[in-house]
Amino acid sequence: MNAVLINGEPIQVYLTMAQRLDSVHPAACTDAEVLLYRDGEFVERLAHRGDGCYKGSAVAEALHEYSCKVVIPGYDTLYAHTEVPAQPVVKDVNIIENATLDEEGNACPAIMITFKTDPDKRLYYQSSIDAAFFYYYYYLGMIYNSTGTRGSMNHSINTDDPVLLNEGSDLLLFSNEIISDTTYTLKVNASFNSHSYSSSGQAVTFDSIVRSGYVVVSMSGIAESCYQYHKSQEAFQAPDAYTNLFLGTITPLNLYSNVENGRGLFTAIAPVTCDTVFLH
């Protein structure tokens, strides 16, 4: 059973059955009874819409707990529950020039994300950043040359932010465990190298260089189960002393599951996209 409840969107649950080891895909479960509850009260029975997807009319709402009961003929009944988190409140996004260097020695900026949190309650977050930078080189009052770079990232390079260091990872997946105030400014050292281009031009002394562009920050409040799943996925992907990629061996590891009598993830997120930061 797998479901990601998204704040403000209809709830849907996916059910599949494990197959033989040589099977490419799991088989869709089409004959289950899927019952949805909110704060302990029955909401509705989800209808099968095809390919193991069960959906109703209920919409996920922040700060409510949802549970799901799945009855499959001939199998143990599945149970799972989660709470939909509140959307993060991002108060400000700023950029610091030349905050760090990438592996090739190029100067990179830091994106500073200031958001509200509640130090009296353990909260979990996930973020990603999209950006584009354009440089226009002027000579004799006209644009003589231009360069640009754009990309996206969900991690920090040369991490020096305390909250990210506490997670032991460069991924923008974190909790407010060590945050003691109601607001926090997260420092993300950014490197955008997925795509770059430049127009042709001869070497000249330019009159001026003008930069423009944008930075878009996406941030989600996530349920603890979502946080734990991503942490287990990260542990699976990180090589250890028992991993030998040349021999095709890797340490067995079960991904996090919060489904009783089965496997899967029943979790929730509340995403928000911050205002674009224009640079000039």
Choose from 103-117, 139-153, 183-197 the range with maximum mean pLDDT. Answer: 103-117
Give how far Cα 21 sits from Cα of 26, 74, 121, 174, 257, Å: 10, 21, 42, 35, 20
Please give the average per-residue pLDDT across 98-103, as a whole number.
Answer: 84
Between CA 265 and CA 151 the distance in angstroms is: 30
Q: With bands split at pLDDT 50, 70 and 90, how would you rate the model's confidence at 98?
A: confident
Please give the average per-residue pLDDT across 118-135, as a whole number.
Answer: 92
Q: What is the predicted pLDDT for the residue at 141?
A: 76
More confident residue, 209 or 77: 77
Q: With bands split at pLDDT 50, 70 and 90, how would you rate the model's confidence at 209?
A: low
Query: pLDDT for 227-261, tens place per residue?
Result: 999 999 887 766 554 555 566 666 667 889 999 99
Q: What is the predicted pLDDT for the residue at 43?
A: 98
Contact 1, 14 (CB under 8 A): yes
CA angle centred on 192, ends 190 and 194, rounded to 5°: 150
Q: What is the predicted pLDDT for the residue at 195?
A: 39
Q: What is the predicted pLDDT for the residue at 132?
A: 83
Looking at the predicted structure, is the pLDDT value of residue 84 above 80?
Answer: yes
Give how far Cα 1 sits from Cα of 8, 64, 117, 270, Å: 21, 20, 31, 20
Between CA 158 and CA 102 the distance in angstroms is: 8
SS3 letters for the chain?
CEEEEECCCEEEEECEECCCCCCCCCEECCCCEEEEEECCEEEEEEEEEECCEEEEEEECCCCCEEEEEEECCCCCCEEEEEECCCCCCEEEEEEEEEEEECCCCCEEEEEEEEEECCCCCCCEEEEEEEEEEEEEEEECCEEEEEEEEEEEECECCCCCCHHHHHHCCCECEEECCCCCCCEEEEEEECCCCCEEEECCCCCCCCCEEEEEEEEEEEEEEECHHHHHHHHHHHHHHCCCCCCECCCCECCCCCCCCCCECCCCEEEEEEEEECCCEEEC
Q: What is the predicted pLDDT for the residue at 20?
A: 80
Query: pLDDT for 151-178, tens place per residue?
Result: 888 999 999 999 999 999 899 999 999 9
Query: pLDDT for 185-201, tens place per residue?
Result: 999 998 864 334 444 45
Q: What is the predicted pLDDT for the residue at 197?
A: 41
| Model confidence, pTM | 0.86
Q: With bands split at pLDDT 50, 70 and 90, how would you rate the model's confidence at 22?
A: confident
More confident residue, 213 or 193: 213
- Name residue, tokens 């506490």: 166
Number of C-alpha atoms within 13 angstroms, CB side, residue 34? 24
Residue 200 burial (CB count, 10 A): 5
Give how far Cα 223 sits from Cα of 18, 62, 82, 125, 237, Å: 26, 11, 7, 8, 22
More confident residue, 111 or 192: 111
Looking at the predicted structure, is the pLDDT value of residue 206 above 50?
Answer: yes
Between CA 28 and CA 119 the distance in angstroms is: 42
